Structure 1
């Protein structure tokens, strides 16, 4: 049976078309890379079963030591024939590429092909051999020959390093590889931990970006080699598959941020800084695309991003190096080491370089060297900062020594000048005392002037308010006098008619005609209207006098319980002449309890604030309408609040700080003494109250007075 099987297999090889003649792999006991002895069939339809693929004439001989199937959605069939000339009956086939989504191995048993399936989409624990690489048993007796098939598919680029060997030697190779990877990962971890501590100490954001880059580049490299599948995600193959793209993209983002910070790209090359922001965005989109399940697209986006990053970083570091920027030189050397490792790795995959223990680790070794060199670059930057600091300290010391010399020389001169100035100050002190006394007298005069100004304003307000109703009365007197004389004359005429001898009917007719002549009905109506006007004028005059009494409270010099709303009303009576019928008054008075206070003084404070509001409105609107003063009162359990708000020119921050200072005024010379708001402030303070101001230029000002309901001495 064995001879028949071998004969059939030999016939199959002999009758293969000449272009696709299958090369025989002769195994003599040492590990053998078999890539150039493999025939490859691409199934773009992904519909071929084993028998169809086996009979297909589309197999093409691999030309490279490591078949590189690129990034493709097709299914690939690999065929190879082995002749065992070693004393071992059991061999192992190692496929050192752990990121295949599907790998089916077809092997003959007594002329019938069996299949074994491995995939990185399945749990790691289900594997016979606890290793991330794909390992398949090949049972072939000595001096026997057999043909085997592999069916592979992946969402990632497929590079297939196939190695044939005995279980012991394959295990030794894997162990050596694991040890090397352990050393590389250890180096990366040391760099990560060291620079993490440095970041905690220095708070330099460059170290944080470096740590993140080193961390994610380590995860990327270990994911590509399957170690994250083996040790981190053994039961989460989905996480492992996504991690290859996600870790790589996060490494790209961290690297872009690190490069910008470490090389100060934003300050030195602003245009390139914008490009790096676009790179970060592209990497972020790559992560999103991978999470959405578009694996092939995400791989292409990763390739594009990596190409842009490589070109961009070389442009930056070469230009900065030519300008003599030392950190860029370190960066150039480190990045070149990593880039060289990547290039060597790609050349190995393309078959230009041989597949061996050296070329297998060019990319991770390049990454490790890059991380180490970047760490040294960061350390060198600390040395640069230290040297700059020492130089700065040295320059500072020189300046201090020079200053000390100058100070010693100046001290001699200063002593002489101090003696001279002491004598001058003694004389000036006497003059200042005289000036201070004069200032006190001037201040007293100004306060009296402000009082007189307030009294003048009060007098003008009273005269204006009383003048209107009095004019109303006086204007009605003459017409009323005339109408009364006409009534008296009418009474005389009617009396004469009534005593005449004419008949009664004639008397009535004469009286009626006379009344019509006088328009007697209109006359009586006019008399009533004039009397009503006189009455209203007299009543208004009485109200004004009453308001004046409430405003001045001349009979109440002591603390009294007073109605704040009533005080505000009386104040508005006095200030009414300032409004010129152009300024609208809005009153929103709350139901207030009576307040223990000095009513007359509070009314003076109200008048000063309202006068300032009128001035501010006139400055903004001039003589036009549009000005408004809003007065709002309310209270809580302890205090009464009075808000007086205008829509005048407002105040800037500097004016608000000085508004309550004595003699401070924004009015022109001769228009104000600068004491009005100071007096109002002192009146509120005397009541143990608070006065605040809110103002915006061009919008208006609001004064908020907070007066305690019950007066208490401090």
Structure 2
């Protein structure tokens, strides 16, 4: 058992008996414990044979009814003499310690030696029992000397019982019955509480189930029933289970204590110490698996000591605080420890070896498992009572709330009516305010459009005035040349109507041509007409661009060429370039897209105006400014890039650039609505607008517009 090692170690140190002279075993027909008649020799070399120890003086009397050998890697030799005073010549010697690694029995008579060895494989044993059973052949009235060599990786407790085959069989049958009841009880408690766990899903139950299962496996493994009934012919696995089962039981037992007693909340100081035995039990398991048998056994001892101290400390402390689950837990644990204590005292010979003391360990374990199940049930009942009490208090509170609600309903109804009237008035005011806000929004948008156009009016007038001035400046010289030409025609008419000979007429005409420089006049008239034609053509192009750009208020989707829209916008802003800003256009062969052309032109105008402003802010009257416009398209989108090498923007400006009324221009130079309108226009076109900008280096706007517009309810 997991705590048995601690008690064995403690009591074996505290209790010792002076060696006494060895006396022979006098058998008179009844089962008897012969440990007090045994002499013991410790063979630390593990090399001594029977011939070496038969006459050795190193033997010392055990002094106790049940020899308790220390944890050691030595071979131990036991020597005793049996005198048969019964009427039977066939006796049985039973050694009730099934976990021995080595067990050899020698019978010495008249100089002959008979050796009986026990094999690890269960099926090779003569007597199919977990205990070591040896045939003792001795005639009535005679005596024989016997030797027993034993060895184990655990601390050995050796109950040696001598009896007749019948009485030994009856004793073993009684023992099997008791253990059967014990195993049945453990199995019932495990299954019953496991099904409860499936219902309540309380982690305490699953830890209890695992603890009960492994504490039961620990008991039946130490008593040999696991080897006899389950792991027969697998002694290596059974050997591992001697430490692994108690180790797992110790781990889940401490986890059960944590959850059942809620130590983290109820005993936070001691809670962290619970991890110490858990770690020690885990180390013991690992050591046994790795083959360090004695070290694993010693780790179990230390884990058991720490578990006993910590468990009693927590359980007693919480019990004194009036915590009911701790009281039941303390009672169960105390009964368990009491059963182990009586079992150890029996092995040390302090209490008699009786049928009662034989089963104190199992009785304590069974009582603990049963009481812990009761404690879990009581805890559930406590939770149920607390829940019912809480529900009752809740019901009372609900009734009180219902009364208060009834009283408040009258007041609330009056206040609600008053508030409804107020809300109706406020709602009307809000509706009117919303209408005014929408009107104001429309006016602001129109104001931004007019502001943009107003800023460029002077430039547009200048663009038109240049070709018009070119025309008007050519009209006066043309009129003069026409008058000269008319006078020349009149002179020719007079000469043609005169009676002069043809040669004379031709001579006079040539003189007139030479006088008026007719060839130069003809060339000058041609140049003047060509200049007038160019001015008129330039004026026509500007008017055409204005007509394309001016579709700001068109609300119908049309198929348009983005390149044309950009060119018309460039005509509007051409005067702003002032010949110091280099314009670079890289147009792709774009397909027509479905859009609102006038609204996109407004977007281009806003972005180009800001780009020119940024370039002028950086270069002022110096040359070096660059405005680059490029267009491409992918499978489904047209991409417009407008890039400048102006002052650029920092991250703060980039984040706010599309916010209404945000502007970096001086007062009076911008409304702060241009980019907000541009953003909303691009979104309405189901497109995207991105900004790449570096302070001091410039800014790039990237517009992506779908070629095919997907109609929505708003658009239809």
Q: Same fold (TM over 0.5)?
A: yes
Structure number with greater Rg is 2
| Corresponding position of 1:23 | 23
CA distance in 1, matches of 2:48, 2:329: 50
| Corresponding position of 1:378 | 376
Question: In the alignment, does 2:420 pair up with 1:417?
Answer: no
Question: Helix, strand or coil: the match of 1:173?
Answer: helix
After superposition, residues 135-150 of structure 1 pair within 5 angstroms as: 135-150=133-148
| Corresponding position of 2:651 | 648
Question: In the alignment, does 2:168 pair up with 1:165?
Answer: no
Change (3 A) 1:678 1:371: farther
Partner deviation per Cα, 1:450-488 (whole Å, 9 max, x = no partner): 6578879x979x99xxxxxxxxxxxxxxxxxxxxxxxxx
After superposition, residues 97-176 of structure 1 pair within 5 angstroms as: 97-108=97-108, 111-119=111-119, 122-176=120-174
CA distance in 1, matches of 2:24, 2:50: 21
| Corresponding position of 1:61 | 61
- How much does 1:608 deviate? 9.4
Indicate the larger mover: 638-647 or 294-303: 638-647
> 1:84 touches 1:143 (CA, 8 Å); kept in 2?
yes
After superposition, residues 446-485 of structure 1 pair within 5 angstroms as: 446-448=444-446
- How much does 1:665 deviate? 8.8
TM-score, with length taken from structure 2 = 0.68
CA distance in 1, matches of 2:153, 2:346: 21
Change (3 A) 1:592 1:420: same
| Corresponding position of 1:71 | 71
Question: Helix, strand or coil: the match of 2:210?
Answer: helix
> 2:277 touches 2:304 (CA, 8 Å); kept in 1?
no
CA distance in 2, matches of 1:237, 1:348: 28
> 2:270 touches 2:310 (CA, 8 Å); kept in 1?
yes
Question: Helix, strand or coil: the match of 2:64?
Answer: coil
- How much does 1:59 deviate? 0.8
Change (3 A) 1:126 1:396: same
Change (3 A) 1:354 1:666: farther
CA distance in 2, matches of 1:64, 1:95: 15
Aligned residue among 405, 408, 427 for 1:407:
405
| Corresponding position of 1:234 | 232
Partner deviation per Cα, 1:317-345 (whole Å, 9 max, x = no partner): 11111111111111111111111112112
Question: In the alignment, does 2:599 pair up with 1:596?
Answer: no
- How much does 1:182 deviate? 1.2
Question: Helix, strand or coil: the match of 2:48?
Answer: coil
CA distance in 2, matches of 1:309, 1:162: 32
CA distance in 1, matches of 2:339, 2:684: 84
Question: In the alignment, does 2:345 pair up with 1:347?
Answer: yes
- How much does 1:609 deviate? 11
CA distance in 2, matches of 1:190, 1:373: 14
Question: In the alignment, does 2:39 pair up with 1:36?
Answer: no
After superposition, residues 172-571 of structure 1 pair within 5 angstroms as: 172-448=170-446, 559-560=558-559
Question: Helix, strand or coil: the match of 1:358?
Answer: helix
Q: Which runs of 5+ in 2 are unaligned?
A: 1-18, 460-540, 577-585, 611-630, 643-647, 692-700
CA distance in 2, matches of 1:647, 1:244: 74
Question: Helix, strand or coil: the match of 2:46?
Answer: coil
Q: CA RMSD in A?
A: 4.7
> 1:595 touches 1:710 (CA, 8 Å); kept in 2?
no
- How much does 1:687 deviate? 3.6
| Corresponding position of 2:708 | 710
CA distance in 2, matches of 1:601, 1:20: 119
> 1:101 touches 1:153 (CA, 8 Å); kept in 2?
yes
CA distance in 1, matches of 2:392, 2:663: 52
| Corresponding position of 2:530 | none
| Corresponding position of 1:13 | none
> 1:81 touches 1:147 (CA, 8 Å); kept in 2?
yes
Question: Helix, strand or coil: the match of 1:274?
Answer: helix
CA distance in 1, matches of 2:704, 2:330: 70
- How much does 1:372 deviate? 1.2
| Corresponding position of 1:530 | none
> 1:20 touches 1:39 (CA, 8 Å); kept in 2?
no
Question: Helix, strand or coil: the match of 2:354?
Answer: coil
Change (3 A) 1:412 1:366: same
Indicate the larger mover: 174-183 or 678-687: 678-687
| Corresponding position of 1:85 | 85
Question: Helix, strand or coil: the match of 1:137?
Answer: strand
CA distance in 1, matches of 2:224, 2:357: 18
Question: Helix, strand or coil: the match of 1:194?
Answer: helix
Change (3 A) 1:634 1:300: farther
Question: Helix, strand or coil: the match of 1:26?
Answer: strand
Question: In the alignment, does 2:51 pair up with 1:51?
Answer: yes
- How much does 1:688 deviate? 4.3
CA distance in 2, matches of 1:607, 1:235: 95
- How much does 1:643 deviate? 13
> 1:595 touches 1:708 (CA, 8 Å); kept in 2?
no
Partner deviation per Cα, 1:396-424 (whole Å, 9 max, x = no partner): 11111111111111222233334434444
CA distance in 1, matches of 2:266, 2:607: 57
- How much does 1:428 deviate? 4.1
Q: Which runs of 5+ in 1 are unaligned?
A: 1-18, 464-544, 578-588, 613-632, 694-702
CA distance in 1, matches of 2:593, 2:47: 100
Change (3 A) 1:342 1:597: farther
| Corresponding position of 1:516 | none
Partner deviation per Cα, 1:279-318 (whole Å, 9 max, x = no partner): 2222212111111100000111110011011101111111
Partner deviation per Cα, 1:587-633 (whole Å, 9 max, x = no partner): xx9x9986835377678779999999xxxxxxxxxxxxxxxxxxxx9
- How much does 1:124 deviate? 1.3
TM-score, with length taken from structure 1 = 0.68
- How much does 1:555 deviate? 7.3
- How much does 1:45 deviate? 1.2
> 1:684 touches 1:707 (CA, 8 Å); kept in 2?
yes
Question: Helix, strand or coil: the match of 2:209?
Answer: helix
> 2:71 touches 2:153 (CA, 8 Å); kept in 1?
yes
- How much does 1:395 deviate? 1.3
Q: Say how many residue pairs are matched.
A: 562
CA distance in 2, matches of 1:642, 1:261: 68
CA distance in 2, matches of 1:650, 1:355: 95
| Corresponding position of 1:9 | none
Change (3 A) 1:403 1:26: same
CA distance in 1, matches of 2:180, 2:135: 27
Question: Helix, strand or coil: the match of 1:388?
Answer: helix
CA distance in 2, matches of 1:707, 1:691: 9
